[in-house]
Amino acid sequence: MSNWNEKNWKSRFFTIWGGQAFSLFGSHLVQFALVWWLTQKTGSATILATASLVGFLPQVVLGPIVGTLVDRSKRRWIMVGADSLIALTTLGLVYLFAIQAVEVWMIYVVLFLRSLGGGFHHPAMTASTSLMVPKTHLTRIQGLNQMLMGAMGIISAPLGALLLEMTSTQAVLMIDVITAIIAVLPLLFIAIPEPERTNGKITAGQPAEKPSFWEDFKAGFAYVWAWPGLVMILLLAMLINFLLNPAGSLMPLLVKDHFGGGALQLGWMESMFGVGMLVGGLVLGAWGGFKKRIITSMVGLIGLGLFFATMGLLPASFFKLALVISFLAAFMNPIVNGPIMAIIQATVAPEMQGRVFTLIGSLASAMAPLGLIIAGPVADALGVQSWYIIGGITCAVVGVSGFFIPVVMNIEENRKAEVEREAAQEPGAVVPVV
């Protein structure tokens, strides 16, 4: 850890972490303000879906390239550059709002650049954390990160709504500029440890030639494809992202056009969603789910789908009940995802987990833009609540169907049996007793 050690790492790390927390807070406020501006200015589901798509594509399309650049560069300066890009972009938008010259396409450009900056910043900070924090404390730091994200989801939306009611859009944007400066300052004075490199390549222990991204991708894909149960999990993740990711992007229109609410009501809706995810994660952590983990996920998926469909079916006068439904839908999110992650961690070979998680994450994330492209016109034609109904019912049906698909229900048992067969075929191998 270079000149970082067990005694001084906390003060240094948390100085950097605190600055990044401020920046994250500012980013959440800006995201809320820009989405609400688009909602009021256009009232178009297609515009909102396009905005989400523009802000999403850089990290999906450029992810592998960005990751390579981050690993080959000074991560501290990657973070400084990313935060500075975001701040300068937002500052330019502040000026455009001040002279009342903002157009929708300008918002698209800003969202694209902010996403590009975030695409560099997140992997740089994540990769640097293991070099700044002793291994014995990494789990606690990840817990703090999850708590931070949950807290941002709870407080940023209502605070953003309150600030928009009291001030102007450009005033809210200036908060992000200030928080970005707060994030950059510690990075200018605190050096972040860098991994050892040999001839431009990162090494861990003994220098070793690392496979290319394409080789890693092919190996991960082959591993997943050879395991039918994991293929079904991949398809499930892709379907959920395709159906439910657009619902989140269309929530401002659901609040405005269907429930007749404003920025304050949207803030409460998003806050209830954040509280639901936080509570769902706590409950799953305490309970652990059913002994057969896939059952927990399927039950959660059924509940998630039914609650989203119910949201779309509620009459316009039932906004308070919609807040409860939003909480319950979000509560089911970790109930679906947590056990699936645990299944992969428990059954995938440790040396393959990075590639498997990357493959599943990349393909699942790639479905979100497709869902946004389709959801916008559908919502404009049939009403925004139609996508909630269609997506919710489909997810619930998929959850029920999972109970009747053997490769899904027996995913852990089948994999364990396959590993034991492979071990038994190796000369002199000892079959593990489970």
Alpha helix stretches (DSSP H) within 99-227: 104-132, 138-166, 169-189, 213-225
Dihedral pair phi/psi, residue 212, rounded to 5°: -70, 165
d(CA 373, CA 387) in angstroms, rounded, equals 12
**What CATH number should be reported for the domain whose range is 212-424?**
1.20.1250.20
**Where do the domains of the chain lie?**
1-193, 212-424
- Answer for the pair 215, 23: CB distance below 8 angstroms, yes or no: no
List for the chain the helix, strand, coil content (%; round to 5): 80, 0, 15
User: Terminal CA-to-CA distance of the chain, rounded, Å?
Assistant: 38
Q: Give the per-residue pLDDT at 386.
A: 92
d(CA 378, CA 384) in angstroms, rounded, equals 8
Q: Give the per-residue pLDDT at 203.
A: 44
pTM over 0.95: no
Q: Give the per-residue pLDDT at 159.
A: 85
Range 1-193 has CATH code 1.10.3720.10: no
Q: Reduce the DSSP state of residue 202 to 3 states and report it.
A: strand
Mean pLDDT of residues grouped by 10 in the chain (434 residues)? 64 87 88 87 83 77 66 80 91 91 90 86 73 65 63 78 86 91 90 60 47 62 82 88 86 90 86 83 76 90 96 94 95 84 68 62 77 86 91 95 91 70 54 39
Distances (CA, A) of 58 to 44, 140, 231, 254, 339: 23, 30, 26, 27, 29
In CATH terms, are 1-193 and 212-424 the same topology?
A: yes
d(CA 194, CA 72) in angstroms, rounded, equals 10
As given in the structure block, the two tokens for residue 231 are 């293929």
Q: Give the number of C-alpha atoms closer than 13 A to the C-alpha of residue 218, restricted to the C-beta side.
A: 5
